[in-house]
Structure 1
Amino acid sequence: MVATEEFIWLSARIIIRHINKGLIRYLCRIDRWYDVLLNRAFYREFMQRTFRVIVSTFFLLFSLLLSPFSHANERERVLVFAASSMTTALDQIAQAYRKQTERTVILSYASSSALARQLAYGAPADIYVSANEKWMNYAVDQAVINANTLSPWVSNALVVVSARDDISQVNLDEASFLHAIGNARMAIADPTHVPAGIYAKESLENLQLWSVLANKLAYSNSVRAALALVERKEAPIGIVYRSDAIASKAVHVVADVPDTSHAPIIFPKAMTKDASEAAAQFFDFLSSDDAHRILAEQGFNLVSSSLSDQEISK
């Protein structure tokens, strides 16, 4: 407030000094009082310059007066970057948080790889939830994550889903998959960078199915995009997370993918180094009983926070 009062006083002095100098110059250039009315060019120039000074000073003052509110909004804002597979669960968790605290959380969903790269490029997120440890470690290596807040959060599983009534079950063998796919393609997330696709490829390889199905796949830029292909029946079947199957009303599970066929599906969470003050409160809420209940309903399993740093960095 002291700084604001000093700025107001300084602004007033600048305006008064400018007006006084202008008036002195103006009066020195006239001989008789009626010349005031005749010397319109100088009068117009003087008024234009005075107007510019007043307007410029006003906007500087206005910006200064608003700056405390701007900083307050930055401190209260919470922006979460989360893997697209967290959409349904995090939407509900954010609603529960808002109901309890009357604070709104901004949620941004995409593939874990895209979000990690955005963080590396300087995106102003406060919390990052990745669908695998690889992209969380990438964000840590880019020095954008507060490593002290990093912890495993939930786990997930892979399932094969379909929206077609004539596909009720798919056995995990070559003949069954090829019969279900037919002349179409099976939807999976892009295995070159999307965690769900990476897990799916690993499973198919370990089930001795990758070489057979590699040319029968439709890649999507996120697991939710792969789910959408199945929901619209553009793909007869697809491999998604169990949580995605639960969140969708249009698909049903036709096969469970064995957990032993791929690496553990762990979703770590962390705060960024530039996290807002309010972010810590929502970050803590993610570990609350209300959040745990929602996560369980959406098909996620809680991961013990006692997992070692070595397990997280694998």
Structure 2
Amino acid sequence: MTLTRRLLLSLAAAAVLSLPMVHKAKAEDKPVLVFAAASLKESLGKVAESYKAETGKTVTLSFAASGPLAKQIEAAAPADVFISADLKWMSYLSDKGLTDKATEKALLGNTLVLIAPKDSATTTVPLAEGFDLAGLLGDGRLAIGEVTSVPAGTYGKTALESLKLFDSVKDKLAQGESVRAALALVSRGEAPLGIVYATDAAADPSVKVVATFPAASYPAIVYPVARVAASTNADAAGFIAYLQAPAATATFEAAGFTVPK
């Protein structure tokens, strides 16, 4: 065998031996796929950017209402991490064994507000039992997330019922597929009032807060996070840990979220 032929065979063998390492590297570099509540869009996007800058690892974010996201995970969508806007949908998956229970944590908190378009004549609204919310709406509708599947909608309905205002406006609801859909209706002037999170109102300069719902009128808003049980992405746990690191919590707090101590 000539020297040239032996050299070519050696190079070929080396190339074959290196293939598993290449495939392994690609598998390890797979982005972490995060299914997250729509209200986290801006802040979580910034956190993902800082995570990549610090670690070199990429995160892919998919935003929607928590209910539909949970249903997608139940249907075997390839998510690695789930961040819900309430405990209900995290419990829904946890009870079915679809989350890694050891990774379930309370990540963030929020508050519920009533908003109006920025140029609306409506200013401060005295949200309390007996307030004529229907009269303030007039012929318009109250924008709100879908009250059975969107956490902000569920919180909003509960708050209205607690204040004994729901019956007067139940036929005036414009229910959106997410809290951001409700926000958009008010932002575009298509609804005179809407119920969203304080962080959503802060993220859109086209709306203003006209009232904050009493904290006692709805359950504490908790955003839990967990690794999806079916995930094989080794970076999922690392990203969950990063969400609780000082840089990430500072970003969330700047957006108006509260962080459990």
Question: Normalising by the residue count of structure 2, what TM-score does the alignment of the two structures yield?
Answer: 0.88
Contact 2:201-2:207 at 8 Å conserved across structures: yes
Taking the aligned partners of 1:282 and 1:73, their CA distance within structure 2 comes to 18
Residue 87, structure 1, aligned to residue 44, structure 2? no
Taking the aligned partners of 2:22 and 2:81, their CA distance within structure 1 comes to 23
What are the equivalent positions in structure 2 for 1:94-105 lying under 5 Å apart?
94-105=48-59
Q: In structure 1, the residue corresponding to 2:34 is in which secondary structure?
A: strand
Deviation at residue 178 of structure 1 after TM alignment = 2.5
Taking the aligned partners of 1:232 and 1:66, their CA distance within structure 2 comes to 54
Deviation at residue 181 of structure 1 after TM alignment = 1.3
Higher strand share: 2
Q: 1:281 aligns with which of 220, 238, 257?
A: 238
Deviations 1:138-184 (A, max 9, x none): 11122221000001111111000111331222222555423431111
* Counterpart position of 2:154: 198
* Counterpart position of 1:294: 251
Deviation at residue 97 of structure 1 after TM alignment = 1.1
Residues 1:215 and 1:100: Cα distance change in structure 2 (over 3 Å): same
Taking the aligned partners of 1:214 and 1:144, their CA distance within structure 2 comes to 35
Residues 1:112 and 1:66: Cα distance change in structure 2 (over 3 Å): farther
The answer to which of 78-87 and 136-145 deviates more is: 136-145
* Counterpart position of 1:73: 26
Residue 129, structure 1, aligned to residue 86, structure 2? no
Q: In structure 1, the residue corresponding to 2:27 is in which secondary structure?
A: helix
Deviations 1:32-67 (A, max 9, x none): xxxxxxxxxxxxxxxxxxxxxxxxxxxxxx9x9866
Q: 2:193 aligns with which of 237, 241, 245?
A: 237
Contact 2:131-2:165 at 8 Å conserved across structures: no
Structure 2's unaligned 5+ residue stretches are 1-8
Taking the aligned partners of 2:90 and 2:101, their CA distance within structure 1 comes to 10
* Counterpart position of 2:97: 143
Deviation at residue 244 of structure 1 after TM alignment = 0.5
Deviations 1:273-294 (A, max 9, x none): 2241112221111011111111
The code of the aligned residue for 1:238 comes to G
Q: In structure 2, the residue corresponding to 1:301 is in which secondary structure?
A: coil
* Counterpart position of 1:225: 181
Taking the aligned partners of 2:140 and 2:24, their CA distance within structure 1 comes to 53
Residues 1:67 and 1:165: Cα distance change in structure 2 (over 3 Å): farther
Contact 2:35-2:69 at 8 Å conserved across structures: yes
Taking the aligned partners of 2:106 and 2:162, their CA distance within structure 1 comes to 25
Question: Normalising by the residue count of structure 1, what TM-score does the alignment of the two structures yield?
Answer: 0.74
Q: 1:161 aligns with which of 84, 108, 115?
A: 115
Residues 1:122 and 1:169: Cα distance change in structure 2 (over 3 Å): same
Residue 170, structure 1, aligned to residue 111, structure 2? no
The code of the aligned residue for 1:72 comes to A
Contact 1:146-1:272 at 8 Å conserved across structures: yes
Deviations 1:65-116 (A, max 9, x none): 8665454333332110100011111011111112212222100001101111
Residue 270, structure 1, aligned to residue 226, structure 2? yes
Percent identity among equivalent residues?
38
Deviation at residue 295 of structure 1 after TM alignment = 0.7
Q: 2:205 aligns with which of 249, 271, 289?
A: 249
In the comparison of the two structures, how many residue pairs are matched? 246
The answer to which of 147-156 and 272-281 deviates more is: 272-281
The code of the aligned residue for 2:27 comes to E
Q: In structure 2, the residue corresponding to 1:270 is in which secondary structure?
A: strand
* Counterpart position of 2:5: none
The answer to which of 264-273 and 177-186 deviates more is: 177-186
Residues 1:125 and 1:70: Cα distance change in structure 2 (over 3 Å): farther
Taking the aligned partners of 2:192 and 2:253, their CA distance within structure 1 comes to 28
* Counterpart position of 1:259: 215
